[in-house]
Amino acid sequence: PRFFATLEACGAHPQKCVPLADHQTLAPADVQALVGEGQTLVMTEKDAVKCRAFAEDNWWFLPVDARLSGEQPDKLLEHITSLVR
C-alpha cells in the first residue's frame, strides 16, 4: 500500500507492516496487539483519529496534506460551487 511506500520514502524502515481495511473499526485490543514492548506504532492520520480515545504514548501518525496543482484547485472549487447553488 501507498502508506508503507511513503514511510520508506521518508527514511523509515518498518519492522512489520499490517495493512488495515478501509473504514475498519479499530478496537483498543486489536491495535495494542500490533505493537510489542518497546516498539513504536505508526499509522495513517485517518486511523489515528479512530484511536484517539485509547491511544498510547508510543503510537504515532504520519500527517498528510493534499494539494492540487496547476488549474485543478480553481476547477474543483468552480465545480463544488455549481453543485451547492
Could you tell me which residue, 73 or 27, shows the higher pLDDT? 27
Q: What does the pLDDT read at residue 22?
A: 86
Closest to 54 measured CA to CA, from 18, 80, 30, 78: 30
Give the total number of structural domains in the chain: 1
Q: Which domain holds residue 31?
A: 2-84
What pLDDT score was predicted for residue 74? 84
**pTM, rounded to two decimals:** 0.74
Joined together, the cell numbers standing for residue 69 give 496543482
